[in-house]
Amino acid sequence: MRKFTTHLFLFTFLLLTTFSHAQTNKDTYVVLVSMDGFRWDYAKHFKLQNLDKIAKEGVHAKSMKPSYPSKTFPNHYSIVTGLYPDHHGIINNVFYDAQLNESFSLSSNAKNDSRFYGGNPIWNVAEQQGVKTASFFWPGSNTDQKRPGIYKKYDDKVSYESRMDTVIKWLQLPEKQRPHLITLYFDQPDHTGHDFGPLSAENKKVIIQMDSIMGQLSSKLDQLPIGKQINLIIVSDHGMADISNAKKVAILDYLKPEWLGYKAVINPIMSLQAKPGCQDSIAAALKKVPHIKLWRAGKLPKRLHYGTNPRVHDFVIEAEKGYSLVNDKDQKIKGGTHGYDNKNKDMQAIFYAKGPAFKVNKEVRSFQNVSVYPLIAHILGLKIDEVDGKFSEVEGLMRKLDNEKMR
């Protein structure tokens, strides 16, 4: 009888815990926001009152490490899949897939072709488990198959205010229609950082504007009837480093055209395909080139998690920090760029978050951006397959009470 009573107690406890878990997740919302190219230390260089307020109300990381290469589409897709670019397949902003015999670029319709995209984006996982989702311009959200329940075709003419107001309207929909996971993308300060450099007066102005927008969004979310149930997460995809016309490498000047197959210089990195029998000639020629790193595919440092995907081709070339790879020595270089090794601090990104799932006024150490995926899944109570990201990396962000309820 005692054993039966004990078992009944355990069953009741598990049932109540499961009910509490489901109930908690049912009432939980996540709004994931990205500011493209927002470097980890902009808050140290410029007075950013709103991000500082959000940090005090919640948590922030010292920095967030981008996946390699530190480019826009690979990293936005890593954040929402929990996979490194080598594993989800968006290995750069521009690349060629030999099996498809097609190229991917941000200026072509290929960016919306789901055949290029591996992994299972968090909005797919959520929709499959009955959680409604929406996205306003998140890179990779407008493919022909792996779309959120609500999505927008990218149009950079849509104002930031309109984007924010639309998100608020989504969260005011009747419960049966209301998304519980929303992703929102802003294309600044990336553009200004490229044009003028990360610490320029022009970029400072834009960064302060973006900080103001984050404050407006946070306030509008708080004022909603469901405001206390919303977890706001603010991230970026990468940082930005200064470059100059005095530091550039015209990489193709060192190579014979007859050695080369597909080549794509996406400053400061390059993927290169060798024609049959030409690998050794290319390697020998490039070993003499100053201010670059050269790797054969599959031979990159393990910490980069890069170079095994066939879309990387035969060689990966990266310019030394501050240097640019160019097709032509007459090409003019100025401002800033990104794509360098992710251990380079200038490449690192931001993570701020506030809401019922998070601790208050807590700074945590840097972590990999692929761990945002299991973090969101945990908050929403979603079951996910094994990915590169680890919840253990971000568990310290969470309130203990929530951890106990959600396990």
Which domains does the chain possess?
A: 29-241+342-397 (3.40.720.10), 248-333 (3.30.1360.180)
Can you read off the two tokens belonging to residue 154?
């990218």
The answer for residues whose C-beta is within 8 angstroms of residue 404's C-beta and 6 or more apart is: none
- The pLDDT value given to residue 173: 97
The pLDDT of residue 24 is above 60: no
Model confidence pLDDT, tens digit, residues 260-278: 999 989 999 999 999 999 9
β-pairing, 315-319 vs 269-274, is antiparallel
DSSP state of 303: G
Q: What is the pLDDT of residue 145?
A: 84
Active-site hit among 5, 12, 17, 72 = 72
Tell me what pLDDT residue 11 has: 36
Tell me the pLDDT band of 146, cut-offs 50, 70 and 90: confident
Residues 6+ positions from 94 with CB-CB distance below 8 Å: 103, 104, 105, 106, 264, 266
- 147-190 per-position pLDDT tens digit: 999 999 999 999 999 999 999 999 999 999 999 999 999 999 99
pLDDT score recorded for residue 23: 37
Instruction: Find, among 54, 28, 394, 106, the residue nearest to 217 by Cα.
Output: 54
Cis-peptide, bond into residue 66, ω within 30° of zero: no
Using one digit for the tens of pLDDT, what is the confidence trace for 353-389? Answer: 999 999 999 999 999 999 999 999 999 999 999 999 9
DSSP string, 31-46: EEEEETT--TTHHHHS
Active-site residue flag, 72: yes
Which tokens go with 145?
């198959």
Q: How far is CA 162 from the centre of its chain?
A: 23
Cα angle 33-91-380, degrees, rounded to a multiple of 5: 35
Q: What is the pLDDT of residue 144?
A: 85
* Alpha carbon distance 267, 318 (integer Å): 8
pLDDT at 401: 56
Q: What is the pLDDT of residue 26?
A: 76
As a whole number of angstroms, the distance between CA 33 and CA 185 comes to 6
Q: Mean pLDDT over all residues of the chain? A: 92
Question: pLDDT tens, 94-115?
Answer: 999 999 999 999 999 899 999 9
Given pLDDT bands bounded at 50, 70 and 90, which one contains residue 88?
very high
pLDDT at 400: 79
